[in-house]
Amino acid sequence: MACGPLHGVKVIECAHMLSGPYCCQILGDLGAEVIKVESTGAGDRTRGLHPFSDPGGVSYGFLSRNRNKRSVCVDLASEEGREVMYRLVRDADVLVHNLRRTTMASLKLAYSDLKAVNPRLVYASISGFGEKGPYKDLPGEDMQAQAMSGILSIIGYPDQSSTPVGTQLGDATTGIVSALGVVSALYARDRTGQGQEVTNSLLASLMAIQPAALSYYLASGQVQPKMGSSGSPTLPVPYGIWTAGDGKEMAVSSYRDWPKFCRCIGAPDLADDPRFDTYENRQANREELVGIVQEALSRRDRDAWISLLRAQDQWVVPVRDYEDIFSDTDSWDNGLVAEMEHPLAGRVRTFGGPLGFSETPEPPAKYPPILGEDTRRVLVEAGYSDDEIDGLLRKGAVK
């Protein structure tokens, strides 16, 4: 049976919304046992976010980032609830949180507190803007981090307002990078025997996916402008997004053999035109050249262009929306869709994960848990008797 490369690793998730839960979902996909600790009220706030499944009324947002976990409801503000956490941490390998550092400290769940309970613990802290500096106490939210990261300054058109990325790029990237930090710390622990704190932030993760643009500024002092559909200030036409005659878009990345591209689009004279015959000239006259190439590409439908250009070894793909993606076969062929049977929502499909392992394949996907459905079972495994659990339930320390 498939167990995954992290089989045997126990993770305590003390996180909500997206970055922390997505990090732990990745660890769970890789075979780790993930115990999601939620409040005794409504649980993870994502459970209440629209839209909801029909049937079942389950948040699609929650479904997207919480598979392969068990749910335990604990009142972390109570002494009894804190003791439950300490018991869970005692034999855990990892704890992941994206609460404010001050909140974790007030709950006596800071790294210094839990290191005393389990020196081998890998403690992953996710913040909005880092643990130090003037913005360390700002709330961590995706669009806020996008705005602060510089990424919005290079997306869109120079004469238009900045446009946020249309999905929670910062949260998702932070989850991925934090999972990398966790497995790195686990590897280090195998050699040293010691756990450690791993820190990451939405801001740092969004900056991490811009190495070329940020490093260019640090080296040159020049700010990269917004380039619209051209995409890059350094790569020349025809690099960019183009609209074909049927109104559909395609992405062209062929720029190394300019004369060959000109022949492909039926405009061989462009290659020798003194306005466009060198890289420098194409860059200097980019706006004029974009208009000429766009006019040429308007003479055929997109699929016809793709067939023609690919036949000449040009790099071109369609611009797809989500319906296009899942109507095609490649996502299914490569196992990028996770399918589960949820007790409330019925058959559920979510994005799976990008990794594949030849010798330690990932386990089958388990549906995101119902709030508190595993509380008793997990507490029994932690050493509580049935009478003790009943007492905790009566006091409201767990649910």
CA distances from 171 to 22, 140, 205, 313, 318 (A): 8, 9, 9, 37, 27
Q: Cα 4 to the chain's mean position, in Å?
A: 20
Q: Please, are residues 251 and 309 in contact by the beta-carbon 8 Å criterion?
A: no
Residues 6+ apart with CB under 8 A from 399: 40, 73, 372, 375, 393
CB-based contact 149:206 (threshold 8 Å): yes
Burial 182-201 (b: 16+ CB within 10 A, else e): bbebbeebeeeeebbbbbbb
Amino acid at 96: V
Q: Determine the Cα–Cα distance for residues 340 and 191; give it in Å rounded to an integer.
A: 37
For residue 304, the tally of other CB atoms under 10 A from its CB is 13
* Joined tokens for residue 108: 């006596």
Which residues are marked as active site?
Answer: 171
Which two three-digit tokens encode residue 380?
């029994």
DSSP-derived 3-state class of residue 218: helix
Q: How many CB atoms lie within 10 A of CB 383?
A: 10
Angle between helices 386-395 and 79-90 (to 10 degrees): 140
- CB atoms under 10 Å from CB of 369, counted, come to 23
Residue 215 dihedral angles phi and psi, to the nearest 5°: -70, -35
Query: 364 near 2, Cβ under 8 Å?
Result: yes
φ/ψ of residue 28, rounded to 5: -65, -40
252 alpha carbon, distance to own chain's centre: 26
Separation CA 399–CA 390 (nearest Å): 10
**Burial class of 251 by CB neighbour count within 10 A (0 to 12, 13 to 18, 19+):** middle
CB 176, CB 145: distance < 8 Å: no
